A and B are shown apart, each in its own frame.
Chain A
Amino acid sequence: MLYAILCYAHEETVFAWSKEEEAAVMEKLYAVQEPLAKAGRLGPTGRLMPTTAATTVRKGQGSAGQEPLVLDGPFAETKEVLLGFYTAEFDSLDDAVAFSKELSAVNPGSSSYEIRPFYVFHPGEVTVGQGDETGDRKAETS
């Protein structure tokens, strides 16, 4: 089954890492993903900007047809926030749990990995974008 694995963390701590600390963690995380990638089981992965960069579009309350509200900030004010995700094919939930445990072991910033199976999955492909961001995208997912 195809799963999304969502990484939750205290962002105050994660974004306080120095460049070196961060690079060390990322390297270990890539090492954990590598076997899955080689086996053709790893789909798109992503790392999100802090929740300060988030905007939330919330359905207007009250009368029908009301314009949705556009709010600055994340969907929910929580202590731990969604900071990244993986998509991967696992034979069993046990395998997905094992993978998440491995990620957790090398990521001191993560507090939880939520494992959510997919109903529908369209990986799509983004073919336009500003140079720097595309570059980043490649660097983060390769």
Chain B
Amino acid sequence: MTDLAHIELALMAARPQVLGALLRYFRDLDTAEEAFQEACLRAIRSWPDKGPPRDPAAWLIFVGRNSGVDQIRKRAKNEPLPEEAAFSYLSDAEADIAERLDNSHYRDDILRLLFICCHPDLPNTQQIALALRIVSGLSVAQIARAFLVSESAMEQRITRAKARVAKAQSGEGAVPFEAPDAAERAERLKTVAAMIYLVFNEGYSAGATNADSAALCGEAIRLVRILLRIFPAEPEIMGLFALMLLQHSRAGARFDGEGQIVLLEDQDRSRWDRRLISEALAMLDKAIRHRRPGPYQVQAAISALHARADRAEETDWGEITLLYELLEKLSPSPVVTLNKAVALSKLKGPQAALELIEPLVEKLDGYFYFHGVRGNFLMQTGARDKARDAFGRAIALANSPAEAAHVRMQLERL
């Protein structure tokens, strides 16, 4: 790895904290972004010679703030730009700067930056795109490739989202720059966690077909890790983190060489990423210790039971069924019931599972997975015609060619 590559990693890692702090100073996203860019340029010029500072984020905030102020002054034509030399004392005085910058704000800065991207008026796709552009610092081209749209379409989408946020920030209902109270903070955290999970799912559902989309999983994990650092004692954030790590641990086994979906029970478990699983299990243990269960923790616990089974036959379906029942209580939804039915079918057979999902037909009629699962249960009970109909419906509703191909394969086996 070159020095420059290492500096770029450090800049990327510091971005949410630095941009969040600069946004608090300047109260304007564009000014904050420009100041951050300028600070990064100066870092790339100065760090290779002088070595990276002990606290890169503090350095960048300090330099970014100064350059932002300079820009504002320059525009106002009040004062000339200071010499580059004015920054040269920086490396000597780093420790000093780190102390002068107020650490207590950092946590709310990062959360605010993420939260602003989750404006309720923005559709999900715009929230995700905006967060990836602003918080993660991905290029418009990268985001466009991940969403399989043209660069100009993505540019437009982000510009619109930014304008919407800027408008909201200048009117009533603006996200305030003061530190939020505990209830508001918890509410923000919840909203932001949901948005990050959307980012993850965007990458997860794209699967093996598109490397740029798949990279979104890694980015979502990085964002939750940042949340965990600033809110280390939130069991649901731990749960979300564990859940994403566990799902991501199967990335190398979810698709075969031709890009076809491989079901969980058929996956080559030696291809699961043991390191991600270990960290997820450690995190889940931490979460459970708080005795405050929530939907992310329960989903992670279910996923962990799969991860703990060395072979598909060793899966603890009884425990998984119980966890789905808990999940139904915590966040009832027909999709949860559908998943419970899958677990139940392993315990009590396809007929019991079919009875459980029959009442869901109305609610889930437009859902690919429902018809796929139902077709499977029907197939197992020997109702071949009905199964064929269900699979046909699933193919029509498939979200990706891989999904459609997978159902078609089952149809052929009938």
- The interface of chain A, by Cβ under 8 A from chain B, is 10, 12-13, 15-17, 21, 24-25, 49-53, 55, 70-73, 79-80, 108-109, 111, 130-133, 135-136
Contacts and interface: CB of A to CB of B under 8 A. Distances in A.
A132 B274 contact: yes
Interface string B265-292: 0000000001101110011001001000
How big is chain B's contact interface, by range?
Answer: 20 to 34
A136 B276 CA distance: 11
Interface in B40-94: 54-56
B413 interface: no
22 contacts: A13-B9, A13-B13, A15-B225, A21-B1, A49-B282, A50-B225, A50-B279, A52-B225, A52-B229, A52-B232, A53-B282, A70-B289, A72-B238, A72-B286, A79-B55, A80-B54, A108-B6, A111-B54, A130-B308, A133-B278, A136-B274, A136-B275
B216 to A, nearest CB: 15
B10 interface: yes
Nearest to B11: A13
Nearest to B272: A132
Contacts, number: 67
A49 B282 CA distance: 9
Nearest to B3: A108
Interface of B: 1, 3, 6, 9-10, 12-14, 54-56, 98, 222, 225, 228-229, 232-233, 238, 241, 274-275, 277-279, 282-283, 286, 289, 308, 310
B228 A52 contact: yes
A73 B13 contact: no
Contact of A16 (B9, B55, B274): B9
Contacts of B233: 71-73
A73 B237 CA distance: 13
B382 to A, nearest CB: 38
A10 B232 contact: no
8 closest A-B pairs (Cβ-Cβ)?
A12-B13, A73-B232, A132-B274, A72-B233, A72-B232, A52-B228, A53-B282, A108-B6
B278 A55 contact: no
Contact of B1 (A15, A25, A53, A130): A25
B1 A52 contact: no
A25 B279 CA distance: 21
A133 B308 CA distance: 11
A15 to B, nearest CB: 7
B288 to A, nearest CB: 12
Given A52-B225, A53-B279, A72-B233, 10 more contacts: A13-B13, A15-B225, A24-B1, A55-B286, A71-B232, A79-B98, A109-B6, A111-B54, A133-B274, A136-B278
A103 B186 CA distance: 43
Contacts of A55: 286, 289
Contacts of A133: 274, 278
Contacts of A49: 278-279, 282
Contacts of B9: 13, 16-17
Contacts of A21: 1
A131 B308 CA distance: 9
Contacts of A136: 274-275, 278
B362 to A, nearest CB: 43
Nearest to A70: B289
A10 B54 CA distance: 9
A79 B13 CA distance: 12
Nearest to B285: A55
Nearest to A133: B278
B310 A16 contact: no
Q: Which of B9, B225, B228, B277 has the most CB of A within 10 A?
A: B9
A121 B282 CA distance: 27
Contacts of A50: 225, 279
Contacts of A52: 225, 228-229, 232, 241, 283
A72 B289 CA distance: 10
Contacts of A25: 1
Contacts of B289: 55, 70
A12 B98 CA distance: 17
Contact of B54 (A73, A79, A135): A79
A16 B13 contact: yes
B274 A10 contact: no
Nearest to A107: B1
Contacts of B310: 131
A131 B272 CA distance: 13
Nearest to B51: A111
Contacts of B14: 12
A4 to B, nearest CB: 23
A40 B139 CA distance: 50
Contacts of B308: 130
A53 B6 contact: no
A13 B1 contact: no
Nearest to A52: B228
A54 to B, nearest CB: 9
